[in-house]
């Protein structure tokens, strides 16, 4: 049983710099959870506190059923894969992988067994006698992962392990890591700044900013129901379009007035909007939730946004339209590719109202649709 | 542009000015108009001021003559070099091997002048001297040396102290021992002793033996005749001296220089001291007001075979070089110097008795009046054994004497050892090319190691060479542009020329000279491998010296390296003020070996030096908190003679740590700081303790730096010279020599150039072996991160 | 920045670390402090009360003036400066020229030449010294500062050569070639373009050479022993002499003052340039 629980965990550096503010998080056993956020948001600090490489200023960290605040790293039964792999350059791959096991005085035969098994799984069986400097980046990364696996720890901690690889390798390794997790079923805490990585790998995602958790949820949840402006803008590529405007009451409904057009807001938001009539809000809508034609989900008269096309980026099946209007300098729409569109042309974009979000402006920019 | 030109010309003129400063030294400008006589003098207890005064007075008497008189306590080395060079000064009194020079005819016999008038013209020059004073350097009826001061060795005592305690000067050895007991019982130490120059003990030995064995047998030492050492009288003389040394010499005296010991006497911490008649003169300015000193002659045995009034004198003689520029003028100067007027000036100024008649009575102070009386009353004098062989034996004598004084050897054993050495020397003189093999295993092992090392090195080099051959690497940065012959000469010429002429050529010559026999002055004769044979198979001094080198190369790094590593580890852990520590810890390295050695020489002073005082203080503190045993041990360092022969090498340990840790520490720090932090974190998570991290990560990854440090220490150890040379006051003994000093001694003191070259060759082979093999063994593949 | 993280949990470890470092700091500094204070005491005080600090109104500055004039330390200082400056300068010049040629050009015999110079690294001074002495005598270079300079340069060449060849090899040839195209002669290209680029290596070598020459005793001792050489002595030689002399004259004050005169300038230079010096030393040593 290896769940990891953070209870009001705080980290303050000398000089009053707060890196992590009172973080609560419950990670289930065998869960693959990803901490994601921009640089400096505190995700690595959290990871290091769980590992025991940073002191916890306040709060507790539990691994399994014990509080590990004062337990040194080597006794926490966790394994870590570093961003730069941290392979011992003077030891062979075999020695690198067996080092920790040797320290625990496991019998030689068992060490040998474990190392070879793991090497087999990772496909590095032939590299065991080489030294790190004779390996490629991808191979080194595998060895680093192998070193962690061989320990059979309660939890894996990954600190941006893929950021030193080229794009193609990264995609390959992502898939491998995922399949590894399925196989090993060990609790995994994974840190990355790449939201795409987070989305593909995590069972749950923890979005962080400035030392605070912005939202915890499954990729779908975080993507489809972002808790605030930051999460909404951080997750998803191209990012969600943010339009500023006002809420008005009109004709038995609540509308979003963005200056030129008025867009009918869905009924599910009515309760939330009641207190915001006449106030400034921000409407968020993803590029994929827009269409050139009023078909299907995009049907309707009250969901139109008039814009001018600036740049067209063909993507094969789809195309990205970079548009603007008087009130909005840049709106991106991802629509089915079609011919005949020219830059400078005026168009009308139809919005899928079921995927519209209303946020409070400013910090933190709460999503009014989630209560 | 204009500014650049001015700066350039400024530098150019600066350089030119400096060149002008240096170059004139290469030209010897001597005005040939006036006659110049050159007089290098030993500057010792009698000081130099009188002689300079004398020189100036003489110039007044003889206008047109210039006297270039100068002095130095180590003048003997300079003069020896001059003799080797063949450019002789006119007069000297340096402690050369006079008899050797007499034998080679380098000194001018002075009889024709002695038979002539003295300076005043009222008697013959010879007659103006005290009877017996010229005897010392008369050989086959020819006299070579002229004395001025009468340096007599006697026992000096603190008159005031004696008066207060009711002690009196004595005559026999039994009485002397009784006196010493009385002094000791009163809480004072009887005798101060100039331990670092323990040939002061030779005075006791000679005094005892002369009276026990008689004049004839005393001088038999000169020929190293069989039985001259291993006889009951000599053993008895040794016994007397050992008894005196072990019971009545001031503790710590073995590590004191002569001025330090003499100061002990004047400060009243000891009652007596044996010294030559320059004692007061040497300590002028350091003697407390109101101090009264008196003197009495050496004690004699109750059964006496020689003249009881005999005095032991030492050479303070002046010799004239036959091949100087103006020998006759030099003699004239000597005549002036030994005139009554000048002698009186000397006597008054320095309060030392002179060998010229009719001067002592009026001119000595009360302190030395007793000395004058002893001199006047003496009928014979003895001292300064003639004969070159005795001089060569001296080194052995020094070792034996040291052992005797420190109770490492019995008197009988001492006698036997000396007898054996004398026999060996006699043998050597008869058959210079003969080698008695006394060591077998050591040389075989040594040569075997060298050969094995060379073979190992060659084999591994060959392997690498062949492997690299195949790759056919072309240096990418080599310019295909033609360089041109002229340019080649310009670029490489100066370096090549200097290097070849001043480095390579001499090295080649060394190899050649090592199989020749040469004394630097005469002919060079082929001698085969005799030097190597003698050094490796027969001599013990080579092995002892090698042992000392090995000590320096192995024991000292054992202390220095771990401590430097420890310091580097401490600092690399990241603490406030690390920059300060780094800077300060490196201070000693900037000072240079000479400065460090001299500083520590002062600090090792047995009485009140920093080291001993610190240890004693620490001991008191430690006792204070209850660790009695440790405390007493530490306090026992109160007069510890660090620089005495037997402790010298251990004294090197703190000094080396102090001097070498900074550099090593910086080296290790640099290496440590290039290890990424994440490696340590990974190890931490893997479960490694601090020690394990150090052992498995730090150590292997700083291995290149470690091996460099080791190699430096090994090579440095092999080449040690300055440290030993200075700590032993430029006169190491057999037991304290290192190979480097042994070589210098062979060349400059023993005049055995061939042997010196042989030692150099052996040293070279050892350095080569040491560094090449060590590097090979310690070299692992460089690890990249 | 902590290296071994476990010490965070053990303030005791940190305390002992500090204690050891502070202790050694005192061990290093105290002798120098003692030296300084002792050099300002009277001879009597030096002997009788070695640890008493001199009173501020009793400072014996005459020890220093005596050392400078009578003790000739002024002369020694000048000699050391002259000899060192010339030795280091010439070594750097000749070695860099030769290293440059060997590193960057291929001509007949370049490899043997390289190893020829390299062999000098293995040669201890003592091997050459005996014949060298007599050689210098016949060239009339004994007892002259010029002779010293010549020998120092000759023996400093291998090391400088070794470091500089490595360095010159690493420079890109494009700079050299463009200089030649611009019309420079080979020497001009060397002097104005490549040599300035070699500054880090030159500094490293310069520092090693400087330290070696300034504190050099053995050769100076051998070569400056003869007639009229007193005024030619370099500092280490003079220092050794003065110490010996002072034992005979019990002129302790002057001996200590002389020691201070020798130590202070080097210490000051070091303090000012220490970053450069330590960096140069480690880079050079690790590379070698």
Same domain? A207 vs A350: no
Asked whether the beta carbons of residue C239 and residue B598 sit closer than 8 angstroms, the reply is yes
* Domain end among A205, A234, A263: A234
| Lowest pLDDT segment from B290-299, B607-616, C90-99 | B607-616
Which residues of C fall within a CB distance of 8 Å from B81?
225-226
Cis before residue B320, ω within 30 degrees of 0? no
Give the integer Cα–Cα distance in Å for B413 and B417. Answer: 6
Partner-chain residue, chosen from B488, B610, B705, that has the shortest CB–CB distance to C107? B488
* Residue of B674, B679, B684, B685 to mutate, interface with A, max A Cβ within 10 Å: B685
In a domain, residue A368? The reply is no
Give the integer Cα–Cα distance in Å for B594 and C241. Answer: 11
- Shortest CA distance from C4: residue in chain A: A53
Query: How many separate domains does chain A show?
Result: 2
Asked whether the beta carbons of residue A55 and residue C8 sit closer than 8 angstroms, the reply is yes
Helix (H) or strand (E) run with residue B151 in it: none
- Tell me the CATH number at A193: 3.40.50.300
Backbone angles phi, psi at B337, to 5 degrees: -65, -30
- Shortest CA distance from A99: residue in chain B: B686
Same domain? A274 vs A218: no
Task: Show Cβ contacts of residue B467 under 8 Å, excluding neighbours closer than 6 positions.
Answer: none
Same domain? A289 vs A182: no
Q: Which of A270, B618, B27 is nearest to C228 (CA)?
A: B27
pLDDT exceeds 80 at position A135? yes
Q: Which of A14, A9, A198, A159 is nearest to A78 (CA)?
A: A159
Rg (CA), chain A: 25
User: Min CA distance, A172 vs chain B (Å)?
Assistant: 25
Write down the pLDDT at residue B466.
67
Which residues of C fall within a CB distance of 8 Å from B704?
286
Residues in chain A, how many?
A: 371
Asked whether the beta carbons of residue B685 and residue A79 sit closer than 8 angstroms, the reply is yes
Report the pLDDT averaged over residues A160-164.
Answer: 89
- A-B interface: how many C-beta pairs under 8 angstroms? 62
Q: At what angle do helices B49-61 and B340-350 cross, to 10 degrees?
A: 160
Task: Print burial letters for B520-548: b (CB count within 10 Å at least 16), e (below 16).
Answer: beeeeeebeebbbbbbbbbbebbbbbbeb
Write down the pLDDT at residue B2.
43
Report the pLDDT averaged over residues B476-505.
Answer: 77
Hey, what are B567's tokens?
Answer: 């310091």
Rg (CA), chain C: 24
Same domain? A267 vs A126: no
Which residues of C fall within a CB distance of 8 Å from B658?
27-28, 31
Backbone angles phi, psi at B216, to 5 degrees: -65, -45
Task: Show Cβ contacts of residue B602 under 8 Å, excluding neighbours closer than 6 positions.
Answer: B609, B610, C35, C38, C255, C256
- Shortest CA distance from A52: residue in chain C: C5
Asked whether the beta carbons of residue A80 and residue B682 sit closer than 8 angstroms, the reply is yes
In a domain, residue A364? The reply is no
Same domain? A136 vs A174: yes
Instruction: Look up tokens 């005596």; give the residue.
Output: C66
- Shortest CA distance from B278: residue in chain C: C248
- Shortest CA distance from B89: residue in chain C: C227
Give the integer Cα–Cα distance in Å for B772 and B765. Answer: 11
State which of A4-8, B134-138, B593-597, C114-118 shows the largest mean pLDDT.
Answer: A4-8
DSSP summary character for residue B782:
P
Same domain? A348 vs A208: no
**Domain residue ranges of chain C, discontinuous segments joined by +:** 5-62, 67-287
Interval B443-464: pLDDT, tens: 888 888 888 877 877 777 676 6
- State chain C's maximal CA–CA distance in angstroms: 75
Partner-chain residue, chosen from A51, A82, A100, that has the shortest CB–CB distance to B687? A100
Instruction: Look up tokens 């030119």; give the residue.
Output: B16
Cis before residue A238, ω within 30 degrees of 0? yes
- Shortest CA distance from C281: residue in chain B: B667
Task: State the DSSP string of A107-119.
Answer: -HHHHHHHHHHHH
Task: State the DSSP string of B448-478.
Answer: HHHHHHHHHHHHHHHHHHHHHHTT----TT-
Write down the pLDDT at residue A312.
92
Fold of C67-287: MetI-like fold (1.10.3720)
Which residues of A fall within a CB distance of 8 Å from B692?
103
DSSP summary character for residue B410:
-
A316 close to A337: Cβ distance less than 8 angstroms: yes
- Shortest CA distance from C174: residue in chain B: B477
Asked whether the beta carbons of residue B590 and residue C270 sit closer than 8 angstroms, the reply is yes
- At B785, the pLDDT band (50, 70, 90 cuts) reads very low
Q: Which of A297, A298, A299, A310 is nearest to A342 (CA)?
A: A310
Same domain? A46 vs A172: yes
CA atoms within 13 A on the CB side of B684: 22
Interval B335-383: pLDDT, tens: 898 888 888 888 888 888 888 888 877 777 777 778 888 887 877 778 7
Asked whether the beta carbons of residue A53 and residue C9 sit closer than 8 angstroms, the reply is no
Asked whether the beta carbons of residue A53 and residue B681 sit closer than 8 angstroms, the reply is yes
Q: Is the pTM of this model over 0.80?
A: no
172-201 in C: which are within 8 Å (CB) of B? 172-173, 176-177, 180, 186-187, 190
Interval C82-116: pLDDT, tens: 999 999 999 999 999 888 888 877 777 778 888 88
Asked whether the beta carbons of residue B700 and residue A79 sit closer than 8 angstroms, the reply is no
Q: List strands edge to edge, sheet with A32-36.
A: A78-81, A155-159, A187-192, A32-36, A204-209, A212-217
DSSP summary character for residue C250:
T
Hey, what are A144's tokens?
Answer: 């680093």
Which residues of A fall within a CB distance of 8 Å from C5?
53, 73
Rg (CA), chain B: 31
- Tell me the CATH number at A340: 2.40.50.140
Interval A228-270: pLDDT, tens: 999 999 998 899 999 988 888 887 788 888 888 888 888 888 8
Partner-chain residue, chosen from C18, C51, C177, that has the shortest CB–CB distance to B575? C18
**Residue A259 CB neighbours (<10 A):** 13
pLDDT exceeds 80 at position A17? yes
pLDDT exceeds 90 at position C153? yes
Percentage of residues in chain B having pLDDT higher than 70: 88
45-84 in A: which are within 8 Å (CB) of B? 51-53, 72-75, 78-80, 82-84
Give the integer Cα–Cα distance in Å for B359 and B344. Answer: 6
Task: State the DSSP string of B82-147.
Answer: HHHHT---SEE-----HHHHHHTT-BPP-HHHHTSB-SSSSSBTGGGBPTTTTGGGEETTEE--EE
Which residues of C fall within a CB distance of 8 Å from B287?
none
Q: Which of C257, C231, C250, C248 is nearest to C68 (CA)?
A: C257
CA B472 to chain centre: 55
**What residues make up the domain containing A87?**
4-234
- Shortest CA distance from A100: residue in chain B: B686
Which residues of C fall within a CB distance of 8 Å from A55?
8
Q: Which chains touch B (3 or more CB pairs under 8 A)?
A: A, C
Write down the pLDDT at residue C246.
64
Pairing label, strands A357-359, A346-351? unpaired
Q: Which of B73, B99, B149, B430 is nearest to B315 (CA)?
A: B149
Partner-chain residue, chosen from B74, B608, B670, that has the shortest CB–CB distance to C50? B608
Asked whether the beta carbons of residue C127 and residue B764 sit closer than 8 angstroms, the reply is yes
Interval A174-204: pLDDT, tens: 999 999 999 989 999 999 999 899 999 989 9
Residue-averaged pLDDT of chain B:
80
User: Min CA distance, A258 vs chain B (Å)?
Assistant: 52
Hey, what are B595's tokens?
Answer: 């400065």
Write down the pLDDT at residue C233.
79
User: What ipTM score was computed for the predicted complex, to two decimals?
Assistant: 0.83
* Domain end among A207, A234, A261: A234
**Residue A243 CB neighbours (<10 A):** 20
In a domain, residue A370? The reply is no
A146 close to A122: Cβ distance less than 8 angstroms: yes
B438 close to B538: Cβ distance less than 8 angstroms: yes
Interval B122-141: pLDDT, tens: 888 888 888 777 777 777 78
| Lowest pLDDT segment from A351-355, B505-509, C242-246 | C242-246
Instruction: Look up tokens 């430097």; give the residue.
Output: B564
SS3 A136: coil
| Lowest pLDDT segment from B100-104, B385-389, B713-717 | B385-389
H helix intervals, B306-440: 327-337, 340-350, 360-363, 366-377, 388-405, 411-430
Which residues of A fall within a CB distance of 8 Å from B697?
88
User: Min CA distance, B771 vs chain A (Å)?
Assistant: 25
**C-alpha distances in Å from residue B679, one per residue of A163, A164, B685, C3, C269:** 18, 17, 10, 10, 38
Same domain? A218 vs A249: no
Q: Which chains touch C (3 or more CB pairs under 8 A)?
A: A, B
A291 close to A305: Cβ distance less than 8 angstroms: no
In a domain, residue A371? The reply is no
Residue-averaged pLDDT of chain A:
89
Partner-chain residue, chosen from B282, B588, B763, that has the shortest CB–CB distance to C124? B763
**Residue B31 CB neighbours (<10 A):** 7
Which residues of A fall within a CB distance of 8 Å from B679?
86, 88
Task: Show Cβ contacts of residue C176 under 8 Å, excluding neighbours closer than 6 positions.
Answer: B479, C104, C189, C193, C194
Percentage of residues in chain A having pLDDT higher than 70: 99
Asked whether the beta carbons of residue C6 and residue A72 sit closer than 8 angstroms, the reply is yes
In a domain, residue A95? The reply is yes
Same domain? A188 vs A336: no
Asked whether the beta carbons of residue C9 and residue A72 sit closer than 8 angstroms, the reply is yes
Give the integer Cα–Cα distance in Å for A207 and A198. Answer: 9
Instruction: Look up tokens 């794009």; give the residue.
Output: A167
Q: List strands edge to edge, sheet with A66-67.
A: A17-27, A4-13, A58-63, A66-67
Same domain? A13 vs A96: yes
């Amino acid at each position: 049983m290896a769940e990891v629980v953070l209870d009001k965990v705080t980290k303050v550096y000398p000089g009053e710099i707060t890196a992590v503010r009172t973080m609560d998080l419950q990670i289930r056993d065998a869960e693959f959870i990803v901490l994601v956020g921009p640089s400096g948001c505190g995700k690595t600090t959290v990871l290091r506190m769980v590992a025991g490489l940073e002191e916890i200023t306040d709060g507790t960290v539990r691994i399994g059923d014990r509080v590990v605040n004062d337990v040194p790293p080597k006794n926490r039964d966790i394994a870590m894969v570093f961003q730069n792999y941290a392979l011992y350059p003077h030891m062979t791959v075999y020695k690198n992988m067996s080092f920790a096991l040797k320290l625990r005085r496991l019998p030689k035969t068992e060490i040998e067994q474990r190392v070879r098994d793991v090497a087999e799984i990772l496909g590095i069986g032939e590299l065991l006698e080489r030294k790190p400097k004779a390996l490629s980046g991808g191979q080194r990364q595998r060895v680093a992962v192998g070193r962690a696996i061989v320990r059979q720890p309660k939890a894996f901690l990954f600190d941006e392990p893929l950021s030193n690889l080229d794009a193609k390798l990264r995609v390959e390794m992502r898939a491998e890591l995922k399949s590894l997790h399925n196989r090993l079923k060990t609790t995994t805490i994974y840190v990355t700044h790449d939201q795409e990585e987070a989305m593909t790998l995590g069972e749950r995602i923890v979005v962080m900013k400035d030392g605070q958790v912005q939202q915890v949820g499954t990729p779908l949840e975080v993507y489809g129901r972002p808790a605030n402006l930051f999460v909404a803008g951080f997750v998803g590529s191209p990012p969600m379009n943010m339009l500023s405007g006002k809420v008005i009451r009109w004709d038995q409904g609540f509308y979003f007035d963005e200056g030129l057009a008025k867009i009918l807001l869905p009924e599910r938001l009515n309760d939330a909007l009641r207190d915001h009539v006449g106030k400034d809000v921000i409407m968020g809508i993803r590029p994929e939730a827009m269409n050139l034609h009023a078909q299907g989900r995009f049907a309707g008269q009250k969901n139109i946004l008039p814009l001018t096309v600036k740049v067209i980026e063909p993507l094969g099946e789809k195309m990205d339209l970079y548009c603007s209007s008087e009130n909005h300098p840049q709106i991106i729409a991802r629509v089915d590719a079609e011919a005949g569109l020219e830059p400078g042309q005026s168009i009308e974009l139809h919005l899928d109202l079921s995927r519209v979000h209303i946020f409070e402006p400013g910090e933190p920019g709460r999503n009014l649709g989630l209560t | 542009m204009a500014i650049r030109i001015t700066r350039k010309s400024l530098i150019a003129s600066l350089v030119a000015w400096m060149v002008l400063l240096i170059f004139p030294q290469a030209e010897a400008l001597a005005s040939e108009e006036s006659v110049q006589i050159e007089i290098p003098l030993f500057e010792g207890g009698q000081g130099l001021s009188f002689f300079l005064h004398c020189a100036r007075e003489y110039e007044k008497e003889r206008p047109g003559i210039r006297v270039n008189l100068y002095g130095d306590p180590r003048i003997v080395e300079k003069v020896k070099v001059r003799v080797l060079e063949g450019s002789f000064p006119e007069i000297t009194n340096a402690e050369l091997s006079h008899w050797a020079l007499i034998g080679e005819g380098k000194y001018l016999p002075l009889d024709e002048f002695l038979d002539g008038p003295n300076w005043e013209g009222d008697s013959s020059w010879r007659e103006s001297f005290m009877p017996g004073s010229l005897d010392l350097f008369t050989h086959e009826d020819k006299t070579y040396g002229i004395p001025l001061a009468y340096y007599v060795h006697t026992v000096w005592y603190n008159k005031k102290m004696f008066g207060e305690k009711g002690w009196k000067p004595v005559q026999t050895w039994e009485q002397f021992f009784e006196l010493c007991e009385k002094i000791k019982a009163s809480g004072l130490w009887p005798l101060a002793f100039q331990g670092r120059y323990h040939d002061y003990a030779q005075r006791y030995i000679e005094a005892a033996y002369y009276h026990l064995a008689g004049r004839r047998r005393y001088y038999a030492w000169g020929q190293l005749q069989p039985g001259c050492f291993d006889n009951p009288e000599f053993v008895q003389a040794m016994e007397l001296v050992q008894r005196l040394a072990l019971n009545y010499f001031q503790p710590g005296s073995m590590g004191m220089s002569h001025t330090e010991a003499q100061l002990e006497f004047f400060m009243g911490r000891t009652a007596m001291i044996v010294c030559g008649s320059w004692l007061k003169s040497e300590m002028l300015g350091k003697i407390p007001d109101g101090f009264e000193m008196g003197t009495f002659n050496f004690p004699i045995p109750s059964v006496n075979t020689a003249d009881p009034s005999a005095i032991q004198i030492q050479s303070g003689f002046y010799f004239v070089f036959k091949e100087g520029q103006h020998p006759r003028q030099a003699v004239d100067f000597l005549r002036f110097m030994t005139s009554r007027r000048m002698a009186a000036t000397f006597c008054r100024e320095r309060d030392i008795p002179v060998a010229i008649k009719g001067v002592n009575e009026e001119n000595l102070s009360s302190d030395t009046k007793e000395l004058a009386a002893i001199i006047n009353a003496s009928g014979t004098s003895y001292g300064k054994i003639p004969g070159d062989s005795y001089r060569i034996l001296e080194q052995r004598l020094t070792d034996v004497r040291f052992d005797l004084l420190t109770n490492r050897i019995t008197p009988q054993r001492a006698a036997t050892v000396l007898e054996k050495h004398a026999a060996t020397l006699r043998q050597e003189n008869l058959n210079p090319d003969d080698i008695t093999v006394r060591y077998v295993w050591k040389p075989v092992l040594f040569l075997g190691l060298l050969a094995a090392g060379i073979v190992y090195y060659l084999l591994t080099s060959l392997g690498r060479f062949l492997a690299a051959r195949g790759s056919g690497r072309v240096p990418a940065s080599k310019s295909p542009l033609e360089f041109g012959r002229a340019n080649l000469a310009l670029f490489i010429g100066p370096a090549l020329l200097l290097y070849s002429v001043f480095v390579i050529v001499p090295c080649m010559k060394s190899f050649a000279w090592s199989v020749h026999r040469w004394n630097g002055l005469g002919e060079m004769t082929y001698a085969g491998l005799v030097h190597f044979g003698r050094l490796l198979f027969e001599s013990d001094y080579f092995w002892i010296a090698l042992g000392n080198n090995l000590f320096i190369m192995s024991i000292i790094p054992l202390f220095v390296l771990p401590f430097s590593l420890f310091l580097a580890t401490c600092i690399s852990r990241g603490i406030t003020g690390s920059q300060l520590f780094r800077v300060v810890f490196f201070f000693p390295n900037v000072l240079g070996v000479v400065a460090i050695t001299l500083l520590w020489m002062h600090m090792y002073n047995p009485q009140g030096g920093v080291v001993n005082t610190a240890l004693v203080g620490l001991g008191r503190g430690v006792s204070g908190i209850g660790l009695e045993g440790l405390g007493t041990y530490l306090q026992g360092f109160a007069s510890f003679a660090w620089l005495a022969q037997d402790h010298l090498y251990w004294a090197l340990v703190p000094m080396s740590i102090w001097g070498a840790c900074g550099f090593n520490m910086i080296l290790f720090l640099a290496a440590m700081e290039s290890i990424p932090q994440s490696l340590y974190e990974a190890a931490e998570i893997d479960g490694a303790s601090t020690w394990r991290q150090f052992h498995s990560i730090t150590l292997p990854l700083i291995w290149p730096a470690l091996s460099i440090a080791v190699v430096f220490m090994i090579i440095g150890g092999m080449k040690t010279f300055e440290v030993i040379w200075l700590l032993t006051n430029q006169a190491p003994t057999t037991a304290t020599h290192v190979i480097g000093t042994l070589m210098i001694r062979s060349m400059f003191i023993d005049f055995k150039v061939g042997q010196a070259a042989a030692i150099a060759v052996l040293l070279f082979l050892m350095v080569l072996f040491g560094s090449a093999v060590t590097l090979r063994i310690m070299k692992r593949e460089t690890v990249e991160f | 920045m902590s290296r071994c993280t476990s010490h965070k949990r053990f303030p005791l470890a940190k305390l002992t670390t500090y204690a050891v470092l502070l202790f050694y700091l005192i061990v290093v500094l105290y002798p120098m402090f003692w030296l300084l204070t002792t050099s300002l005491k009277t001879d009597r005080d030096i002997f009788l009360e070695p640890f008493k600090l001199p009173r501020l109104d009793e400072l014996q500055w005459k020890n220093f003036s005596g050392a400078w004039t009578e003790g000739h330390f002024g002369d020694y200082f000048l000699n050391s400066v002259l000899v060192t400056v010339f030795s280091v300068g010439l070594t750097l010049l000749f070695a860099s020229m030769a290293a440059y040629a060997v590193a960057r050009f291929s001509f007949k015999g370049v490899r043997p030449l390289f190893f020829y110079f390299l062999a000098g690294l293995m040669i201890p001074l003592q091997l050459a010294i005996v014949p060298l002495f007599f050689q210098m005598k016949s060239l009339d270079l004994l007892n002259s500062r010029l002779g010293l300079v010549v020998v120092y340069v000759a023996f400093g060449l291998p090391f400088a050569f070794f470091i500089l060849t490595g360095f010159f090899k690493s420079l890109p040839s494009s700079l050299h070639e463009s200089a030649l195209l611009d019309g420079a002669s080979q020497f001009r290209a060397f002097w104005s373009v490549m040599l300035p680029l070699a500054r880090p290596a030159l500094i490293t070598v310069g520092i090693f050479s400087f330290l070696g020459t300034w504190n050099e005793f053995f050769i100076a001792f051998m070569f400056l022993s003869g007639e009229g050489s007193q005024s030619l002595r370099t500092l280490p030689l003079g220092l050794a002499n003065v110490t010996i002399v002072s034992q005979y004259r019990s002129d302790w004050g002057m001996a200590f003052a002389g020691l201070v005169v020798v130590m202070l300038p080097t210490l000051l230079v070091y303090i000012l340039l220490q970053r450069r010096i330590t960096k140069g030393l480690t880079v050079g040593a690790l590379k070698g």
